[in-house]
Amino acid sequence: MHSDSAHTTVLLDEAVEALVWDREGLYVDATFGRGGHSRRILETLAPGGRVLAFDKDPQAVMAAAEIVDPRFSIRHDGFKQIAELPPGAAAGVLMDLGVSSPQIDSPERGFSFRFDGPLDMRMDPTRGISVSEWLAEADIREIAEVIRDYGEERFAFPIAKAIVARRQERGPVSTTAELAQLVAGAVKTREPGQNPATRTFQALRIFINAELEELQQALEACLTVLRSGGRLVVISFHSLEDRMVKQFIARHSTSTFDRRAPFAPPLPLLLEALGRVRPGDNERAANPRARSAIMRVASRTAATGAVT
């Protein structure tokens, strides 16, 4: 098995500074990864504080065993399961979205076109079906829709057509190198410096792991799980995620009214938007993964329904 590569946590200081406001509170690291944020949060907390982490990846859960601190615990679950926490239990929830460097750099996981390996891409390889299994059964329309909607790929149909033609001629695509080669043949132009397969690999990973659906469920859960004043901190790495987070915060932090009852008082605001942060020049230069990162921060208000 390929050994874990080093993972540099993006916006580490900024995220923890925005998140921790009550040193005795419970903080949820919704995407543990390799634990950079969890470790820094623990350093910040008082003896009465706690960190509860979530991660789908069994290797991440194994890595969490290195943290020997009674204030820390981890669950082998996707972060939508934060909905199972009691109302008002958390002082803060941190979501660092996307894939970690160890996942990308492990050929056997199939996340990257940079290495040849089985076309898997599951965050949790013990559950669900792999990308290769799905591509073996999906029709052209389904494949094209996924690549277009989740990868914002304008050559989605030619790529889907090439995948299905290959399947009919020589059997299903089963490795990352095979898929990357098919995509390169179907994509006519690409932005300078970007591999033709980038958008397709992103799309298939997001789809097979139901990442956007899980993000939406987790965001909604935060409205209940966060106590009054609790912080929501989300770090996104592509436009689909960031757009969802931005719209969610805006929807719950902007005064609205019911058009069916125009004279009724506005609906209570559940969040206060606290800003957007991008990595500085030094971090972007030192860590290529940081270049596309956007961190959004919001606070749970004391409106009706918030738990204090």
Domain boundary among 181, 208, 235: 208
**Contact in structure between 190 and 158 (CB atoms under 8 Å):** no
Average pLDDT, the chain: 91
DSSP conformation letters of 16-81: HHHH-S-TTSEEEES--TTSHHHHHHHHHS-TT-EEEEE-S-HHHHHHHTT---TTEEEESS-GGG
Residue 46 is assigned to a structural domain of this protein: yes
pLDDT for 303 beyond 60: no
* pLDDT-derived band at 306, boundaries 50, 70, 90: very low
Domain, as residue range, for 203: 124-208
Q: Which of 51-55, 64-68, 252-256 has the lowest mean pLDDT?
A: 252-256
**What is the DSSP secondary structure assignment for residue 119, as one 8-state letter?**
S
Residues 6+ apart with CB under 8 A from 221: 80, 82, 83, 85
pLDDT for 253 beyond 80: yes
Q: Which of 56, 177, 166, 172 is nearest to 107 (CA)?
A: 177
pLDDT for 2 beyond 60: no
Residue 283 is assigned to a structural domain of this protein: yes
pLDDT for 184 beyond 60: yes
H helix intervals, the chain: 12-19, 36-44, 58-64, 101-104, 131-135, 140-151, 156-170, 176-186, 198-208, 211-225, 239-253, 281-286
pLDDT at 266: 66
Residues 6+ apart with CB under 8 A from 213: none
How many domains are there within the chain? Answer: 2
Residues 6+ apart with CB under 8 A from 157: 140, 144, 148
pLDDT at 262: 64
Domain with residue 273: its CATH number is 3.40.50.150
Residues 109-136: what's their mean pLDDT? Answer: 94
pLDDT at 304: 44
* pLDDT-derived band at 193, boundaries 50, 70, 90: confident
**Contact in structure between 176 and 115 (CB atoms under 8 Å):** yes
**291 and 231 in a common domain:** yes
pLDDT above 90 covers a percentage of the chain that reads 78
**Adjacency order of strands within the sheet including 271-277:** 72-75, 50-54, 26-29, 90-96, 226-236, 294-300, 271-277
Q: What is the pTM of this model?
A: 0.90
Domain with residue 187: its CATH number is 1.10.150.170
Two structure tokens written together for 106 = 């492990």
pLDDT for 213 beyond 60: yes
Domain boundary among 192, 208, 224: 208
pLDDT at 267: 67
The per-residue pLDDT for range 199-208, each reduced to its tens digit, is 999 999 999 9
pLDDT at 189: 76
Q: Which of 264, 224, 251, 214 is nearest to 30 (CA)?
A: 214
Q: Which amino acid is at 113?
A: F
pLDDT for 31 beyond 50: yes
Helix axes 140-151, 156-170, angle to 10 degrees: 140
Residue 307 is assigned to a structural domain of this protein: no
pLDDT at 264: 63
Domain boundary among 168, 193, 208: 208
**What is the DSSP secondary structure assignment for residue 3, as one 8-state letter?**
P
